[in-house]
Amino acid sequence: MLGHRYVMAVIIVVGLLAAPSFAAAVRIIGEEFAEVDIASGRFVFDGPVTVTDDTVTIRGTRLIYLSEQELLQFVGEVTIEQDDTSVAGRDLTYDAATGEWTLDKPLMSTLPSGAVSPVYLSGARVNACPTLTVIDEAALTTCDPNQPGYYLASKRIEIHPGDRLVLYGVRFVESGLTLFYWPRITFSLKSRDWAESLSLPKLGYSSEEGWFVKTSFGYHGPGNQRGRFLVDYMQLLGWGFGVDHVLRTDAAGSESIYLYVQPNMKTEHTDLTLGLYGERALPGDLKLSGGSTFSTEYDDGENLWRHHELSLSQQRSNGSSELRYSDKRVTGAQTGYETYAVLSHVQRSADGWHLRLSADVDKQDMPDLPRRNLVGYRAELGRETANWSFDLTAEDLFNPELAKDEPTEEITWNRAQALPELKARIKRLHVFGREIPLSADFAWGRLTEDRPVFPTPVRVSTERMHVAAQTEFPQVDLGSWGRWQWNGFLARRIYGTGEKQWVAGARSTYRLPVSERLTLNADYRYEQSFGDLSPFRFDRVVDEEELRAAVQYNTANAGWRLSGGYDLFNKEPIDVIGSLRWQLKSGLNMQMQSAYSIADSSWVYTVATLQYIPSDSFSVQLGARYNMETKYAERVDAAFHWDLKGWRVSYAAIYDGIENEFDLGDFTITRDLGCRVIDLRFDQTRKEVWLEYRIPAFPAAAVKVGATEQHLMFDAKGWEEVLAIE
């Protein structure tokens, strides 16, 4: 009986933040019985006393059990631990008859999902029953609870187990100063991250809004619903009001509604935004999500924007299916639409059969954007084994360049069709019982191509037969003479309009390590068509034959590489490119690359970077690309950071010399206070400045800022962009 009462106490106390799950065996370990009175039902243990089932553990210094009153008392210090949650306090009293209990001076710590450090909750006293826990004079923080740099102070906290945590009369205290006050804040205990229930005011400046203060106030109800009231003030636009309300969120899905009203002082028009969003898990592992947004604005007249999105997907062990649809329309002073849809289905069987279906729709008629009406599809049925494969395909595709607002290549064809096309491949050929490194391909199809010829488009349609053989030789180790590999192919194409064509190609690579530091490399590429010109443009071969060579030398502190070659097809030399890497001293590194055109007898470009990183707390990086033909810097990069006694100053910039503007300019002053971080940021490209308050314990809740699509040339991706490497 006594052990059962211990278990009841543990269940209720740990239920402050989570309901524990107990094993069958519970152990009670105590130093001694201080008092045993069977007649009165009074049992006293002097500690330390421990109750545990290896999942939940409770420790106290003195334990009193009154069996007649069904009352359990831990006198003095007491702690309860389960998984990543712990509770400490004094004088725990539990009434088994009513399920009510109290605990003085509680201090609870837990590690919620998404956090990297504990969350601490303290108070003056806890009063609880199985359905509700109340904490008076409470404080919530992720700092040291004994010396919190910041905390949420609440006169009263209500914990509804497994549902929500409600704070009344909340003050946000930073360094002893009350900065903000909320009458009520609700944290969902169903949420992945409690920090998403709290949003501090956002302060800043932008060229569109002027100085602004944006605030939100969370609420709970009715029922399990919750949301935020939005109240903003913008210097140039005026007040803005809104609500972001979650109607439902559970394992089956979620629904939410968003409403925002902006009486715009700049345009003297009331801008309105209404959004409806939802997700649902359906039977059969189906996932459905969608949303609709309606908004009004004034731009040379009133415009109404409508945007609808829908997504339905299913993932299976033998395939997948997905439907994505987006439709955006504007009516009023401006008119236009943009519709995009993708449908895909993949089905596979254990014996190698597969079915692949896909369809694309991309239609656009928007102001200041190119018009397009693109529809494409592909259906493929086939089978693949270890030795062979075949596919039967029906396809109608549009040129991908047509889907771009600014095409990067000349558009010589609009669409191509295969109705149908049969493809087969023999992966492994055997001669006299031995496998040889040769594969064979065969394809036949009825192909059609549309060309953008002015004023009347041209359509070409005919059959094409394609037969090819390809070698797949492994790399040959020549010992001290290096390593060599060669692959080649030969194809025959015959068209129904009478054209006949051979296509030959080869690739050869050679690498010779002259010494541990010096290496020679050679590369040969060849592809050429013979006979008649293909009647289609999408499958035409660009003849090429190039021989490239490079020599490189590397040590721990320095290295260089020199490459060049000859274009055998056009009978002209390929640009010579030289690269240099040099560590001038500890922390100081330099990289340079230059290209010289032998054909034009002139320098093409020079790229150089200088990096000084003496320690993790300080770095300066500079880089530039100079075009020697146009005589100006095409791009200049700069990055700087300095950490000093809790402060950090950083700057990153990319200057486009061609457009004479900054693509990236991010200046930040950071104050690191340990359990929280304050940033003052300035976006040079958008002319925006704002104050950002972050809690490092919840990195997923941090505000993401900056031009994320830009890459500094100091990383690998940046070098690829600067050198135009494909």
Nearest one of 416, 435, 417 to 426, comparing CA atoms: 435
- In this prediction, residue 55 carries a pLDDT of 74
Dig out the tokens for 712 from the structure: 């500094």
- Segment among 30-34, 286-290, 701-705 with least mean pLDDT: 701-705
| Res. 725: pLDDT tops 60 | no
- In this prediction, residue 199 carries a pLDDT of 62
Residue pLDDT, tens place only, 639-668: 999 998 889 999 999 998 888 888 888 899
- In this prediction, residue 705 carries a pLDDT of 42
- In this prediction, residue 359 carries a pLDDT of 96
Q: Quick one: average pLDDT of 407-419?
A: 89
Using CA atoms, how far apart are residues 133 and 157, in angstroms rounded to an integer?
8
Using CA atoms, how far apart are residues 299 and 276, in angstroms rounded to an integer?
25
Residue pLDDT, tens place only, 292-345: 999 999 988 999 999 999 999 999 999 999 999 999 999 999 999 999 999 999
The secondary structure element, H or E, covering residue 287 is strand 286-298
| Res. 505: pLDDT tops 90 | yes
C-alpha separations of 100 from 8, 92, 127, 231, 331 in Å: 11, 11, 8, 41, 62
Domain with CATH 2.60.450 in the chain: 1-102
Residue 381, sorted as left (phi over 0), alpha (psi -120 to 50) or beta, turns out to be: beta
C-alpha separations of 52 from 47, 58, 181, 409, 642 in Å: 15, 6, 41, 71, 50
> Which of the two residues, 2 and 204, has the higher pLDDT score?
204
Q: What class is the 1-102 domain? A: mainly beta
Q: Are 636 and 609 in contact (CB under 8 A)?
A: no
Taking the model in full, what pTM does it have?
Answer: 0.67
Using CA atoms, how far apart are residues 357 and 319, in angstroms rounded to an integer?
11
Dig out the tokens for 334 from the structure: 């401006």
Using CA atoms, how far apart are residues 376 and 217, in angstroms rounded to an integer?
48
